[in-house]
Structure 1
Amino acid sequence: MLFQNAYQRIYRISAWYDLAVTWPYATPLTFAFFWQFLDVSHAQMGLAPLPEIPVYGILFANFFGTVVLIWSIVRLKINNPALARYDAAGRWLFSAWMINALWQGASPLLWGFLIIEIGFAILQSLPIAASDPSPESEAVHS
């Protein structure tokens, strides 16, 4: 169980994480540079080269990047724990798709993203305590 202030910090951190990780997907140009960076990273680690992505793959990567950027900004602007519950549901689904991709032979670099997704999904799925402990509430209940 998490207290409200801890829960709020977690879902705000998750929104900032999403902004940091997904902005390269938002435009064809940034995605091209990012994909090249990932390919070079693969080569430096001795992994197989990444495949060329067809135009529709780039289009859907851009859709993904744009939607997640907007969703992240909404979560940062509208301070509502209910949004974190929806985000947790999305993270469970994204985790399932990542597991499927790994099973199909996707890059082992995906494990790092999967661990973070599952971590945020678990934290944002936890129950929220009715109130935070504070010296004032402790004095009232004593």
Structure 2
Amino acid sequence: MIRLAAPTHPAYPRVVRASAWYDLVVTVGFATPWTYALVHDGLSSLGDTLGLGVLPALDPMQILYANLMGSVVVVWALLRIIEPLPAHGLFDGVARVQFALWQAYALGHGATRLLWLFLVVEVAFGVAQLWPWRWTRRTGLVSCPRLP
């Protein structure tokens, strides 16, 4: 197994926490059907105003998936706000690469161009959290303090 020495720069936990606050602010509205309807209307209006396109009409499955994503991301964000460990930054950076890939895929298949606003932030936070790991040396698993 590969062990990566975690970035030790004191700014790294602040980057992890900043990305978590961004996630919390952006996704808390996705966590319930009622708030998602408001977020959906707001994003559609914004996309229409900016000429970037509107979101598709709401349907029960879209609401379900938005709520599932919102709920998981809110919990993940709270964990990183409370305990911004280097390992959390590494895993969040990997998740942001995945999110960015799926957002790029959606854009390539006709999704509203409003998605570009989110894609840019995903890539920026992904790079900010993964870049410091490039200087780490390989010695086994990702080190992470154990909880008592």
TM-score normalised by structure 1 residue count: 0.84
The count of corresponding residues between Structure 1 and Structure 2 is 129
Q: Does 1:35 align with 2:40?
A: yes
Is the Cα–Cα contact under 8 Å of residues 14 and 84 in structure 2 kept in the other structure? no
Measure how far apart 1:48 and its partner are.
Answer: 3.9
Which structure carries more helix by proportion?
1
**4+ aligned runs moved over 4 Å, structure 1:** none
* CA–CA distance in structure 2, aligned partners of residues 125 and 109 of structure 1: 25
Q: What is the match of residue 145 of structure 2? A: none
- C-alpha spacing 1:42/1:79, structure 2 compared with 1 (3 Å): closer
Matched, 1:78 2:83: yes
Residue 92 (structure 1) aligns with: 97
- Larger Rg computed on CA atoms: 1
Deviations 1:7-45 (A, max 9, x none): 111111000000010011000000001111112223323
Change in CA separation of 1:74 and 1:47 when aligned onto 2, cut-off 3 Å = closer
> How far 1:68 moved relative to its partner?
0.2
Percent sequence identity over matched residues? 39
Amino acid at match of 1:26: A
C-alpha RMSD of the superposition? 1.7
Task: Return closer, same or farther for 1:127/1:43 CA change in 2, 3 Å cut-off.
Answer: closer
C-alpha change, 1:35 and 1:92, in structure 2 (3 Å) is: same
Q: Residue 5 in 1 paired to residue 7 in 2?
A: no
**3-state SS of paired residue (2:111):** coil
Which residue of 2 is the match for residue 110 of structure 1?
115
CA contact (8 A) 2:53 2:114 kept: no
For structure 1, the residue ranges without an aligned partner over 5 or more in a row are 131-142
What is the CA distance between 1:112 and its match in structure 2?
A: 1.2
Q: Name the CA shift for 1:47/1:7 in 2 (closer, same or farther; >3 Å).
A: closer
Please, which runs of 5 or more residues in structure 2 have no aligned partner?
A: 1-6, 137-148
